[in-house]
Chain A
Amino acid sequence: MSVFPWVAWYALRRYTAYPLSSVAESVTNTAFAFMRAYVLLALWQARPALGGYDVTDAITFCFLTQAMIGPVQIFRGLELSDRIRSGDVAIDLYRPVGLQGWWLADDLGRATAELLLRSGLPMVAGMLVFTLRPAGPWALAAFALALPLAVLVSFAIRYLVALAAFWLHDDRGLQAIALVMSLFFSGMILPLVVFPGWLGGIARALPWAALIQVPADIYLGKRTGSDLVAALGFQAAWAVALLAAGALLTVAARRKLVIHGG
Protein backbone atom coordinates (compact mmCIF):
# COMPACT_ATOMS: atom_id res chain seq x y z
CA MET A 1 0.00 0.00 0.00
CA SER A 2 1.13 3.50 -0.73
CA VAL A 3 2.41 5.54 2.18
CA PHE A 4 0.13 8.53 1.45
CA PRO A 5 -3.02 7.22 3.21
CA TRP A 6 -0.83 6.69 6.25
CA VAL A 7 0.52 10.22 6.06
CA ALA A 8 -3.06 11.53 5.90
CA TRP A 9 -4.10 9.31 8.81
CA TYR A 10 -1.16 10.47 10.92
CA ALA A 11 -1.91 14.10 10.12
CA LEU A 12 -5.50 13.54 11.23
CA ARG A 13 -4.26 12.08 14.50
CA ARG A 14 -1.69 14.85 14.91
CA TYR A 15 -4.33 17.56 14.43
CA THR A 16 -6.75 15.85 16.80
CA ALA A 17 -4.03 15.37 19.43
CA TYR A 18 -4.84 18.71 21.09
CA PRO A 19 -8.65 18.92 21.08
CA LEU A 20 -8.75 21.77 23.60
CA SER A 21 -6.81 24.08 21.31
CA SER A 22 -9.18 23.13 18.45
CA VAL A 23 -12.18 23.95 20.62
CA ALA A 24 -10.64 27.33 21.48
CA GLU A 25 -10.22 28.09 17.77
CA SER A 26 -13.76 26.95 17.13
CA VAL A 27 -15.09 29.30 19.82
CA THR A 28 -13.15 32.17 18.23
CA ASN A 29 -14.58 31.31 14.79
CA THR A 30 -18.08 31.30 16.31
CA ALA A 31 -17.62 34.65 18.08
CA PHE A 32 -16.47 36.24 14.83
CA ALA A 33 -19.42 34.62 13.04
CA PHE A 34 -21.80 36.65 15.23
CA MET A 35 -19.88 39.89 14.60
CA ARG A 36 -19.96 39.27 10.85
CA ALA A 37 -23.61 38.23 11.01
CA TYR A 38 -24.74 41.55 12.49
CA VAL A 39 -22.72 43.54 9.92
CA LEU A 40 -24.30 41.50 7.09
CA LEU A 41 -27.71 41.84 8.69
CA ALA A 42 -27.38 45.63 8.69
CA LEU A 43 -26.17 45.57 5.08
CA TRP A 44 -29.02 43.37 3.80
CA GLN A 45 -31.65 45.34 5.73
CA ALA A 46 -30.40 48.48 3.98
CA ARG A 47 -30.07 46.73 0.60
CA PRO A 48 -32.48 43.75 0.44
CA ALA A 49 -31.75 41.20 -2.31
CA LEU A 50 -28.20 42.58 -2.71
CA GLY A 51 -26.25 40.31 -5.06
CA GLY A 52 -29.20 37.92 -5.34
CA TYR A 53 -28.98 36.91 -1.63
CA ASP A 54 -31.79 37.47 0.85
CA VAL A 55 -31.16 38.01 4.57
CA THR A 56 -31.34 34.28 5.36
CA ASP A 57 -28.85 33.52 2.56
CA ALA A 58 -26.45 36.13 3.94
CA ILE A 59 -26.63 34.85 7.52
CA THR A 60 -26.30 31.22 6.40
CA PHE A 61 -23.33 32.23 4.24
CA CYS A 62 -21.76 33.85 7.28
CA PHE A 63 -21.99 30.86 9.65
CA LEU A 64 -21.19 28.31 6.96
CA THR A 65 -18.03 30.14 5.87
CA GLN A 66 -16.89 30.59 9.48
CA ALA A 67 -17.25 26.82 9.83
CA MET A 68 -15.11 26.37 6.69
CA ILE A 69 -12.16 28.47 7.95
CA GLY A 70 -10.53 25.45 9.63
CA PRO A 71 -10.71 22.84 6.89
CA VAL A 72 -10.08 25.27 3.99
CA GLN A 73 -7.32 26.97 6.02
CA ILE A 74 -7.98 30.59 5.13
CA PHE A 75 -5.61 32.15 7.65
CA ARG A 76 -2.54 29.94 7.67
CA GLY A 77 0.07 28.77 5.22
CA LEU A 78 1.64 25.33 5.11
CA GLU A 79 3.97 24.05 7.80
CA LEU A 80 6.31 23.39 4.88
CA SER A 81 7.25 27.12 4.83
CA ASP A 82 8.71 26.86 8.33
CA ARG A 83 10.53 23.71 7.37
CA ILE A 84 12.12 25.39 4.36
CA ARG A 85 13.15 28.35 6.51
CA SER A 86 14.67 26.12 9.21
CA GLY A 87 16.25 23.66 6.78
CA ASP A 88 14.20 20.72 8.08
CA VAL A 89 12.94 20.36 4.52
CA ALA A 90 16.15 18.35 3.91
CA ILE A 91 14.35 15.48 5.65
CA ASP A 92 11.31 15.89 3.38
CA LEU A 93 13.44 16.04 0.26
CA TYR A 94 15.37 12.96 1.20
CA ARG A 95 12.30 10.72 1.56
CA PRO A 96 11.72 8.26 -1.29
CA VAL A 97 8.37 9.85 -2.20
CA GLY A 98 7.33 13.12 -3.85
CA LEU A 99 7.31 16.33 -1.82
CA GLN A 100 3.96 17.59 -3.12
CA GLY A 101 2.15 14.27 -2.65
CA TRP A 102 3.46 13.97 0.88
CA TRP A 103 2.27 17.43 1.89
CA LEU A 104 -1.04 17.03 0.07
CA ALA A 105 -1.73 13.84 2.02
CA ASP A 106 -0.75 15.65 5.22
CA ASP A 107 -3.07 18.54 4.40
CA LEU A 108 -6.05 16.28 3.61
CA GLY A 109 -5.61 14.63 7.00
CA ARG A 110 -5.39 18.05 8.62
CA ALA A 111 -8.53 19.29 6.84
CA THR A 112 -10.49 16.22 7.96
CA ALA A 113 -9.38 16.74 11.56
CA GLU A 114 -10.39 20.41 11.48
CA LEU A 115 -13.73 19.58 9.86
CA LEU A 116 -14.43 17.18 12.71
CA LEU A 117 -13.28 19.45 15.53
CA ARG A 118 -13.86 23.02 14.36
CA SER A 119 -16.81 23.11 11.97
CA GLY A 120 -19.68 21.94 14.17
CA LEU A 121 -19.84 24.72 16.74
CA PRO A 122 -20.30 27.72 14.37
CA MET A 123 -23.10 25.93 12.47
CA VAL A 124 -24.94 24.82 15.61
CA ALA A 125 -24.60 28.25 17.27
CA GLY A 126 -25.91 29.92 14.10
CA MET A 127 -28.92 27.59 13.93
CA LEU A 128 -29.77 28.25 17.57
CA VAL A 129 -29.72 32.05 17.29
CA PHE A 130 -30.80 32.69 13.69
CA THR A 131 -32.82 30.91 11.05
CA LEU A 132 -30.30 29.35 8.66
CA ARG A 133 -31.28 28.08 5.24
CA PRO A 134 -31.27 24.27 5.33
CA ALA A 135 -29.47 22.69 2.38
CA GLY A 136 -31.48 20.21 0.30
CA PRO A 137 -30.15 16.67 -0.19
CA TRP A 138 -28.79 17.48 -3.68
CA ALA A 139 -27.18 20.69 -2.51
CA LEU A 140 -25.64 18.83 0.42
CA ALA A 141 -24.31 16.06 -1.83
CA ALA A 142 -22.83 18.63 -4.21
CA PHE A 143 -21.34 20.50 -1.26
CA ALA A 144 -19.70 17.25 -0.12
CA LEU A 145 -17.83 17.33 -3.45
CA ALA A 146 -17.18 21.06 -3.41
CA LEU A 147 -15.58 21.12 0.04
CA PRO A 148 -12.75 18.64 -0.76
CA LEU A 149 -12.18 20.53 -4.03
CA ALA A 150 -11.91 23.75 -2.01
CA VAL A 151 -9.32 22.08 0.23
CA LEU A 152 -7.38 20.94 -2.87
CA VAL A 153 -7.31 24.45 -4.36
CA SER A 154 -6.37 25.91 -0.98
CA PHE A 155 -3.55 23.39 -0.62
CA ALA A 156 -2.32 24.05 -4.16
CA ILE A 157 -2.13 27.81 -3.50
CA ARG A 158 -0.46 27.42 -0.11
CA TYR A 159 2.02 24.92 -1.56
CA LEU A 160 3.05 27.40 -4.28
CA VAL A 161 3.46 30.13 -1.66
CA ALA A 162 5.50 27.81 0.57
CA LEU A 163 7.80 26.74 -2.27
CA ALA A 164 8.58 30.40 -2.99
CA ALA A 165 10.66 30.27 0.20
CA PHE A 166 13.29 28.39 -1.79
CA TRP A 167 13.85 31.56 -3.81
CA LEU A 168 13.10 34.27 -1.27
CA HIS A 169 15.31 34.66 1.74
CA ASP A 170 12.36 35.90 3.74
CA ASP A 171 8.90 34.80 2.70
CA ARG A 172 6.92 36.71 5.33
CA GLY A 173 5.94 39.48 2.91
CA LEU A 174 4.60 36.93 0.46
CA GLN A 175 2.74 35.13 3.25
CA ALA A 176 1.08 38.43 4.22
CA ILE A 177 0.00 39.06 0.61
CA ALA A 178 -1.29 35.49 0.37
CA LEU A 179 -3.36 36.02 3.52
CA VAL A 180 -4.93 39.23 2.21
CA MET A 181 -5.71 37.59 -1.15
CA SER A 182 -7.30 34.55 0.45
CA LEU A 183 -9.36 36.65 2.89
CA PHE A 184 -10.59 39.14 0.33
CA PHE A 185 -10.97 37.13 -2.88
CA SER A 186 -12.42 33.99 -1.29
CA GLY A 187 -15.49 35.90 -0.10
CA MET A 188 -14.52 35.57 3.52
CA ILE A 189 -14.74 39.31 4.27
CA LEU A 190 -17.75 39.99 2.06
CA PRO A 191 -19.57 37.56 -0.24
CA LEU A 192 -18.18 38.01 -3.76
CA VAL A 193 -21.78 38.44 -5.02
CA VAL A 194 -21.81 42.00 -3.65
CA PHE A 195 -18.67 43.05 -5.58
CA PRO A 196 -19.84 45.30 -8.40
CA GLY A 197 -19.03 45.17 -12.12
CA TRP A 198 -15.63 44.17 -13.38
CA LEU A 199 -14.19 43.79 -9.84
CA GLY A 200 -16.85 41.16 -9.12
CA GLY A 201 -16.17 39.46 -12.45
CA ILE A 202 -12.46 39.23 -11.74
CA ALA A 203 -12.97 38.13 -8.12
CA ARG A 204 -15.31 35.33 -9.17
CA ALA A 205 -12.82 34.05 -11.79
CA LEU A 206 -9.77 33.94 -9.51
CA PRO A 207 -8.84 30.65 -7.77
CA TRP A 208 -9.65 32.01 -4.30
CA ALA A 209 -13.37 32.02 -5.24
CA ALA A 210 -13.11 28.21 -5.29
CA LEU A 211 -12.23 28.23 -1.57
CA ILE A 212 -15.33 29.81 -0.03
CA GLN A 213 -17.72 31.53 -2.45
CA VAL A 214 -18.32 28.62 -4.84
CA PRO A 215 -18.89 25.92 -2.18
CA ALA A 216 -21.10 28.31 -0.19
CA ASP A 217 -23.23 29.09 -3.27
CA ILE A 218 -23.57 25.36 -3.88
CA TYR A 219 -24.69 24.84 -0.28
CA LEU A 220 -27.22 27.67 -0.59
CA GLY A 221 -28.66 26.07 -3.72
CA LYS A 222 -27.64 29.01 -5.93
CA ARG A 223 -25.91 26.71 -8.41
CA THR A 224 -28.04 23.92 -9.87
CA GLY A 225 -28.13 21.82 -13.03
CA SER A 226 -25.50 22.72 -15.60
CA ASP A 227 -24.54 25.70 -13.47
CA LEU A 228 -23.63 23.29 -10.67
CA VAL A 229 -21.47 21.24 -13.02
CA ALA A 230 -19.78 24.46 -14.13
CA ALA A 231 -19.15 25.44 -10.51
CA LEU A 232 -17.55 22.09 -9.64
CA GLY A 233 -15.67 22.20 -12.95
CA PHE A 234 -14.34 25.66 -12.05
CA GLN A 235 -12.98 24.32 -8.76
CA ALA A 236 -11.54 21.17 -10.36
CA ALA A 237 -9.90 23.15 -13.17
CA TRP A 238 -8.14 25.47 -10.72
CA ALA A 239 -7.11 22.49 -8.57
CA VAL A 240 -5.57 20.71 -11.57
CA ALA A 241 -3.87 23.84 -12.92
CA LEU A 242 -2.41 24.91 -9.58
CA LEU A 243 -1.33 21.39 -8.56
CA ALA A 244 0.40 21.05 -11.95
CA ALA A 245 2.12 24.40 -11.38
CA GLY A 246 3.16 23.10 -7.96
CA ALA A 247 4.63 19.96 -9.51
CA LEU A 248 6.65 22.03 -11.99
CA LEU A 249 7.83 24.37 -9.25
CA THR A 250 8.91 21.36 -7.15
CA VAL A 251 11.16 20.20 -9.98
CA ALA A 252 12.60 23.71 -10.30
CA ALA A 253 13.08 23.97 -6.53
CA ARG A 254 14.97 20.69 -6.39
CA ARG A 255 17.18 21.92 -9.16
CA LYS A 256 18.10 25.20 -7.56
CA LEU A 257 17.89 24.30 -3.91
CA VAL A 258 19.71 26.08 -1.17
CA ILE A 259 18.88 24.56 2.16
CA HIS A 260 19.12 27.15 4.85
CA GLY A 261 21.09 26.35 7.94
CA GLY A 262 23.43 23.64 6.61
Chain B
Amino acid sequence: MIEVAGVGKSFTVRRRAGRIRRSRTTVAAVDDVSFEVAAGEFVGYLGPNGAGKSTTIKMLTGILTPSSGSVRVCGLDPSRQRTTLARRIGVVFGQRTTLWWDLPLRDSLTLIRHLYRVDAAAHRARLAELTGLLELGPFLDTPVRQLSLGQRMRGDLAAALLHDPELLVLDEPTIGLDVVSKATVREFLARLNSERGTTILLTTHDLGDIERLCRRVMIIDHGRLAYDGDLSRLRATVDAGRMLVVEFARPCPPISLPDVIVERVQGPRQWLRLPRTANAAAVVAALADRHEVRDIALRDADIEDVVARLYRQVGTLAK
Protein backbone atom coordinates (compact mmCIF):
# COMPACT_ATOMS: atom_id res chain seq x y z
CA MET B 1 0.00 0.00 0.00
CA ILE B 2 2.79 2.40 0.96
CA GLU B 3 6.41 2.03 -0.12
CA VAL B 4 8.88 4.62 1.05
CA ALA B 5 12.53 4.15 0.12
CA GLY B 6 15.35 6.38 1.32
CA VAL B 7 13.16 9.47 1.32
CA GLY B 8 14.49 12.85 2.38
CA LYS B 9 12.99 16.32 2.40
CA SER B 10 15.04 19.40 3.09
CA PHE B 11 14.02 23.02 3.29
CA THR B 12 16.21 26.01 2.65
CA VAL B 13 16.17 28.56 5.42
CA ARG B 14 17.50 32.07 4.83
CA ARG B 15 19.05 34.01 7.67
CA ARG B 16 20.37 37.52 7.92
CA ALA B 17 24.14 37.53 7.79
CA GLY B 18 24.89 41.21 7.67
CA ARG B 19 23.04 44.22 6.41
CA ILE B 20 21.97 42.82 3.06
CA ARG B 21 23.54 39.43 2.73
CA ARG B 22 21.51 36.38 3.64
CA SER B 23 23.07 33.07 4.43
CA ARG B 24 21.27 29.95 3.27
CA THR B 25 21.16 26.85 5.39
CA THR B 26 19.54 23.59 4.47
CA VAL B 27 17.47 21.88 7.12
CA ALA B 28 16.58 18.23 6.67
CA ALA B 29 13.00 17.71 7.93
CA VAL B 30 13.05 14.08 6.87
CA ASP B 31 16.30 12.21 6.28
CA ASP B 32 16.67 8.83 4.59
CA VAL B 33 13.42 7.29 5.82
CA SER B 34 12.35 3.87 4.51
CA PHE B 35 9.33 1.78 5.40
CA GLU B 36 6.54 -0.24 3.87
CA VAL B 37 2.93 -0.59 4.92
CA ALA B 38 0.94 -3.57 3.66
CA ALA B 39 -2.78 -3.51 2.85
CA GLY B 40 -4.93 -3.89 5.96
CA GLU B 41 -2.32 -2.74 8.46
CA PHE B 42 -2.99 -0.19 11.21
CA VAL B 43 0.25 1.66 11.83
CA GLY B 44 1.00 4.31 14.42
CA TYR B 45 3.47 7.00 13.45
CA LEU B 46 4.88 8.88 16.42
CA GLY B 47 7.41 11.52 17.14
CA PRO B 48 7.77 14.81 18.99
CA ASN B 49 6.81 18.14 17.44
CA GLY B 50 8.99 18.96 14.46
CA ALA B 51 10.22 15.40 14.11
CA GLY B 52 9.07 15.11 10.51
CA LYS B 53 5.68 13.38 10.88
CA SER B 54 3.64 15.97 9.03
CA THR B 55 6.31 16.35 6.36
CA THR B 56 6.18 12.59 5.76
CA ILE B 57 2.40 12.70 5.48
CA LYS B 58 2.54 15.62 3.07
CA MET B 59 4.90 13.61 0.87
CA LEU B 60 2.64 10.55 1.03
CA THR B 61 -0.36 12.64 -0.06
CA GLY B 62 1.50 14.48 -2.82
CA ILE B 63 1.39 17.94 -1.25
CA LEU B 64 5.18 18.00 -0.89
CA THR B 65 7.70 16.61 -3.33
CA PRO B 66 10.52 14.58 -1.74
CA SER B 67 14.04 16.01 -2.18
CA SER B 68 15.43 12.49 -2.52
CA GLY B 69 14.35 8.87 -2.52
CA SER B 70 11.10 7.44 -3.79
CA VAL B 71 7.54 7.26 -2.52
CA ARG B 72 4.80 4.98 -3.90
CA VAL B 73 1.28 4.98 -2.50
CA CYS B 74 -1.31 2.58 -3.98
CA GLY B 75 1.28 1.99 -6.69
CA LEU B 76 1.27 5.68 -7.66
CA ASP B 77 3.82 8.47 -7.40
CA PRO B 78 2.05 10.94 -5.07
CA SER B 79 3.57 14.19 -6.30
CA ARG B 80 3.16 13.33 -10.01
CA GLN B 81 -0.22 11.54 -9.80
CA ARG B 82 -1.70 13.52 -6.93
CA THR B 83 -5.18 13.82 -8.42
CA THR B 84 -5.56 10.11 -9.20
CA LEU B 85 -4.17 9.24 -5.80
CA ALA B 86 -6.48 11.64 -3.94
CA ARG B 87 -9.47 9.72 -5.28
CA ARG B 88 -8.13 6.51 -3.70
CA ILE B 89 -7.02 7.73 -0.29
CA GLY B 90 -8.58 9.71 2.52
CA VAL B 91 -6.75 12.25 4.67
CA VAL B 92 -7.71 13.95 7.91
CA PHE B 93 -5.58 16.79 9.25
CA GLY B 94 -6.70 16.95 12.88
CA GLN B 95 -5.95 20.63 13.31
CA ARG B 96 -7.59 21.73 10.07
CA THR B 97 -10.95 21.07 8.52
CA THR B 98 -12.21 20.29 5.01
CA LEU B 99 -15.71 21.35 6.01
CA TRP B 100 -17.41 24.64 5.11
CA TRP B 101 -17.51 26.72 8.25
CA ASP B 102 -20.73 28.62 7.50
CA LEU B 103 -22.77 25.78 6.00
CA PRO B 104 -24.49 22.75 7.52
CA LEU B 105 -22.38 19.60 7.72
CA ARG B 106 -24.66 17.81 5.24
CA ASP B 107 -23.83 20.41 2.55
CA SER B 108 -20.09 19.96 2.96
CA LEU B 109 -20.56 16.22 2.53
CA THR B 110 -22.64 16.81 -0.62
CA LEU B 111 -19.89 18.97 -2.09
CA ILE B 112 -17.35 16.28 -1.30
CA ARG B 113 -19.51 13.81 -3.22
CA HIS B 114 -19.11 16.03 -6.30
CA LEU B 115 -15.43 16.54 -5.60
CA TYR B 116 -14.82 12.79 -5.68
CA ARG B 117 -17.50 12.08 -8.30
CA VAL B 118 -19.37 9.54 -6.21
CA ASP B 119 -22.71 8.63 -7.79
CA ALA B 120 -25.87 9.59 -5.92
CA ALA B 121 -27.01 6.10 -4.89
CA ALA B 122 -23.58 5.04 -3.60
CA HIS B 123 -23.30 8.34 -1.75
CA ARG B 124 -26.68 7.92 -0.07
CA ALA B 125 -25.79 4.43 1.15
CA ARG B 126 -22.34 5.43 2.33
CA LEU B 127 -23.60 8.55 4.08
CA ALA B 128 -26.28 6.53 5.89
CA GLU B 129 -23.65 4.03 7.01
CA LEU B 130 -21.20 6.69 8.22
CA THR B 131 -24.00 8.65 9.89
CA GLY B 132 -24.83 5.53 11.91
CA LEU B 133 -21.26 4.63 12.80
CA LEU B 134 -20.13 8.14 13.67
CA GLU B 135 -23.45 9.21 15.19
CA LEU B 136 -23.68 12.24 12.91
CA GLY B 137 -27.49 12.27 12.87
CA PRO B 138 -28.12 14.93 15.54
CA PHE B 139 -25.89 17.55 13.88
CA LEU B 140 -26.00 16.81 10.14
CA ASP B 141 -28.00 19.99 9.57
CA THR B 142 -26.03 22.23 11.97
CA PRO B 143 -23.59 24.77 10.53
CA VAL B 144 -20.06 23.53 11.09
CA ARG B 145 -19.06 26.63 13.08
CA GLN B 146 -21.56 25.58 15.77
CA LEU B 147 -20.20 22.04 16.15
CA SER B 148 -18.06 20.97 19.07
CA LEU B 149 -14.53 19.85 18.26
CA GLY B 150 -15.53 16.20 18.72
CA GLN B 151 -18.50 16.55 16.38
CA ARG B 152 -16.41 18.41 13.82
CA MET B 153 -13.77 15.70 13.91
CA ARG B 154 -16.41 13.03 13.26
CA GLY B 155 -17.67 15.17 10.39
CA ASP B 156 -14.15 15.39 8.98
CA LEU B 157 -13.72 11.63 9.28
CA ALA B 158 -16.97 11.13 7.34
CA ALA B 159 -15.74 13.62 4.70
CA ALA B 160 -12.48 11.67 4.28
CA LEU B 161 -14.29 8.33 3.95
CA LEU B 162 -17.25 9.15 1.68
CA HIS B 163 -15.41 7.97 -1.42
CA ASP B 164 -14.46 4.71 0.31
CA PRO B 165 -10.66 5.07 0.16
CA GLU B 166 -8.29 2.10 0.41
CA LEU B 167 -5.93 4.04 2.65
CA LEU B 168 -6.77 6.50 5.40
CA VAL B 169 -4.04 8.87 6.61
CA LEU B 170 -4.77 10.59 9.91
CA ASP B 171 -2.67 13.46 11.21
CA GLU B 172 -3.44 13.82 14.93
CA PRO B 173 -7.16 13.03 14.71
CA THR B 174 -7.73 13.00 18.48
CA ILE B 175 -5.92 16.24 19.32
CA GLY B 176 -7.93 18.30 21.79
CA LEU B 177 -10.79 15.80 22.05
CA ASP B 178 -12.36 14.85 25.38
CA VAL B 179 -12.30 11.29 26.67
CA VAL B 180 -15.72 10.33 25.28
CA SER B 181 -15.06 11.77 21.81
CA LYS B 182 -11.67 10.07 21.73
CA ALA B 183 -13.30 6.75 22.56
CA THR B 184 -15.90 7.19 19.78
CA VAL B 185 -13.23 8.03 17.21
CA ARG B 186 -10.97 5.14 18.29
CA GLU B 187 -13.85 2.65 18.26
CA PHE B 188 -14.79 3.79 14.77
CA LEU B 189 -11.24 3.53 13.44
CA ALA B 190 -10.78 0.06 14.92
CA ARG B 191 -13.94 -1.16 13.17
CA LEU B 192 -13.02 0.53 9.90
CA ASN B 193 -9.73 -1.33 9.92
CA SER B 194 -10.97 -4.74 11.05
CA GLU B 195 -14.33 -4.90 9.24
CA ARG B 196 -13.72 -2.94 6.07
CA GLY B 197 -10.02 -3.70 5.81
CA THR B 198 -9.06 -0.06 5.28
CA THR B 199 -5.34 0.48 5.76
CA ILE B 200 -4.72 3.21 8.32
CA LEU B 201 -1.67 5.32 9.06
CA LEU B 202 -2.11 7.36 12.21
CA THR B 203 0.12 10.07 13.63
CA THR B 204 -0.53 11.13 17.17
CA HIS B 205 0.96 12.34 20.43
CA ASP B 206 -1.56 10.28 22.32
CA LEU B 207 -0.12 6.98 23.56
CA GLY B 208 -3.70 5.90 24.28
CA ASP B 209 -4.51 6.01 20.55
CA ILE B 210 -1.53 3.83 19.82
CA GLU B 211 -2.16 1.38 22.64
CA ARG B 212 -5.79 0.98 21.71
CA LEU B 213 -5.37 0.75 17.95
CA CYS B 214 -1.97 -0.05 16.54
CA ARG B 215 -0.08 -3.31 16.43
CA ARG B 216 2.81 -1.69 14.66
CA VAL B 217 4.54 1.53 15.61
CA MET B 218 7.04 3.70 13.78
CA ILE B 219 8.86 6.43 15.64
CA ILE B 220 10.55 9.32 13.92
CA ASP B 221 12.81 11.87 15.54
CA HIS B 222 14.99 14.56 13.98
CA GLY B 223 13.79 13.34 10.60
CA ARG B 224 15.07 9.81 11.06
CA LEU B 225 13.16 6.62 11.66
CA ALA B 226 14.23 5.48 15.14
CA TYR B 227 11.97 2.49 15.58
CA ASP B 228 9.73 0.34 13.42
CA GLY B 229 8.12 -2.72 14.92
CA ASP B 230 5.66 -4.19 17.41
CA LEU B 231 4.22 -2.06 20.15
CA SER B 232 4.92 -4.79 22.72
CA ARG B 233 8.56 -5.01 21.75
CA LEU B 234 8.84 -1.25 21.99
CA ARG B 235 7.41 -1.37 25.50
CA ALA B 236 9.85 -4.09 26.50
CA THR B 237 12.89 -2.33 25.07
CA VAL B 238 12.01 1.12 26.22
CA ASP B 239 10.76 1.07 29.75
CA ALA B 240 10.23 4.76 30.25
CA GLY B 241 8.61 4.03 33.60
CA ARG B 242 7.13 6.80 35.67
CA MET B 243 8.29 10.20 36.76
CA LEU B 244 8.29 11.13 40.44
CA VAL B 245 8.58 14.85 41.09
CA VAL B 246 9.59 15.54 44.69
CA GLU B 247 9.81 18.89 46.41
CA PHE B 248 11.94 18.83 49.54
CA ALA B 249 11.84 21.40 52.32
CA ARG B 250 15.31 22.61 51.28
CA PRO B 251 17.70 21.91 48.41
CA CYS B 252 19.60 18.67 48.85
CA PRO B 253 22.09 16.65 46.77
CA PRO B 254 20.69 14.28 44.12
CA ILE B 255 19.00 11.31 45.73
CA SER B 256 20.72 7.98 45.53
CA LEU B 257 18.37 5.02 45.79
CA PRO B 258 18.38 1.67 44.00
CA ASP B 259 16.25 1.65 40.79
CA VAL B 260 15.90 5.44 40.86
CA ILE B 261 17.45 7.69 38.22
CA VAL B 262 17.68 11.41 38.93
CA GLU B 263 16.69 13.20 35.70
CA ARG B 264 16.78 16.81 36.86
CA VAL B 265 17.49 18.88 39.97
CA GLN B 266 16.13 22.41 40.35
CA GLY B 267 16.48 23.98 43.80
CA PRO B 268 14.55 21.87 46.29
CA ARG B 269 12.85 19.98 43.44
CA GLN B 270 14.05 16.73 41.90
CA TRP B 271 12.72 14.69 38.99
CA LEU B 272 13.18 10.96 39.64
CA ARG B 273 12.54 8.27 37.07
CA LEU B 274 11.21 4.94 38.36
CA PRO B 275 11.04 1.80 36.25
CA ARG B 276 7.58 0.28 35.87
CA THR B 277 8.58 -2.57 38.22
CA ALA B 278 9.68 -0.30 41.08
CA ASN B 279 7.52 0.07 44.15
CA ALA B 280 6.64 3.76 44.21
CA ALA B 281 5.36 3.63 47.79
CA ALA B 282 8.66 2.21 49.02
CA VAL B 283 10.60 4.90 47.17
CA VAL B 284 8.44 7.65 48.67
CA ALA B 285 8.88 6.16 52.15
CA ALA B 286 12.65 6.01 51.67
CA LEU B 287 12.72 9.64 50.55
CA ALA B 288 10.67 10.79 53.53
CA ASP B 289 13.08 8.93 55.82
CA ARG B 290 16.06 10.90 54.60
CA HIS B 291 14.71 14.40 54.02
CA GLU B 292 11.68 16.49 54.82
CA VAL B 293 9.32 16.16 51.84
CA ARG B 294 6.92 19.01 51.00
CA ASP B 295 5.14 17.75 47.92
CA ILE B 296 5.07 14.76 45.62
CA ALA B 297 3.65 14.10 42.15
CA LEU B 298 3.77 10.84 40.23
CA ARG B 299 2.92 10.61 36.57
CA ASP B 300 3.27 8.16 33.69
CA ALA B 301 5.99 8.80 31.18
CA ASP B 302 4.48 10.43 28.09
CA ILE B 303 5.42 9.99 24.51
CA GLU B 304 8.22 12.54 24.74
CA ASP B 305 9.78 10.53 27.58
CA VAL B 306 9.50 7.34 25.57
CA VAL B 307 11.09 8.93 22.55
CA ALA B 308 13.76 10.66 24.61
CA ARG B 309 14.63 7.38 26.25
CA LEU B 310 14.47 5.56 22.99
CA TYR B 311 17.15 7.88 21.70
CA ARG B 312 19.48 7.13 24.54
CA GLN B 313 19.18 3.45 23.77
CA VAL B 314 19.05 3.76 20.02
CA GLY B 315 22.13 1.51 19.72
CA THR B 316 20.45 -1.36 21.52
CA LEU B 317 17.38 -1.39 19.25
CA ALA B 318 17.52 -3.81 16.40
CA LYS B 319 16.00 -2.08 13.39
Chain A positions near chain B (C-beta within 8 angstroms): 1-3, 6-7, 10, 13-14, 17-18, 87-88, 90-91, 93-97, 254-255, 257-259, 262
Interface footprint category on B: 20 to 34
The interface residues of chain B lying within 8 Å CB-to-CB of A18 are: 102
B54 within 8 A of A: yes
Verify A14–B115 contact, CB threshold 8 A: no
Verify A13–B103 contact, CB threshold 8 A: yes
Chain B positions near chain A (C-beta within 8 angstroms): 11, 49-50, 54, 58, 61-65, 82-84, 86-87, 91, 93, 96-98, 100, 102-103, 107, 110-111, 114-117
Verify B91–A96 contact, CB threshold 8 A: no
Known contacts A87-B96, A91-B93, A257-B63; can you find 12 more A-B pairs with CB under 8 A?
A6-B111, A10-B100, A10-B103, A13-B107, A90-B63, A90-B96, A91-B97, A94-B61, A94-B62, A96-B86, A257-B64, A258-B11
Closest 4 A/B residue pairs (Cβ): A96-B86, A3-B114, A262-B54, A96-B83
Cα A15 to Cα B298 with chains together (Å): 52
Verify B11–A96 contact, CB threshold 8 A: no
The interface residues of chain B lying within 8 Å CB-to-CB of A254 are: 65
Q: Smallest distance from the beta carbon of B306 to chain A beta carbons, Å?
A: 21
Q: Smallest distance from the beta carbon of A81 to chain B beta carbons, Å?
A: 16
Verify A6–B83 contact, CB threshold 8 A: no
Verify A94–B11 contact, CB threshold 8 A: no
Give the residue name and chain of the B residue nearest to A9 (CB): B111
Q: Smallest distance from the beta carbon of A219 to chain B beta carbons, Å?
A: 32
Verify A91–B115 contact, CB threshold 8 A: no
Verify B93–A10 contact, CB threshold 8 A: no
Verify A259–B58 contact, CB threshold 8 A: yes
Q: Smallest distance from the beta carbon of B230 to chain A beta carbons, Å?
A: 28
Cα A221 to Cα B96 with chains together (Å): 49
Verify B54–A91 contact, CB threshold 8 A: no
Verify A1–B63 contact, CB threshold 8 A: no
Q: Smallest distance from the beta carbon of A18 to chain B beta carbons, Å?
A: 8
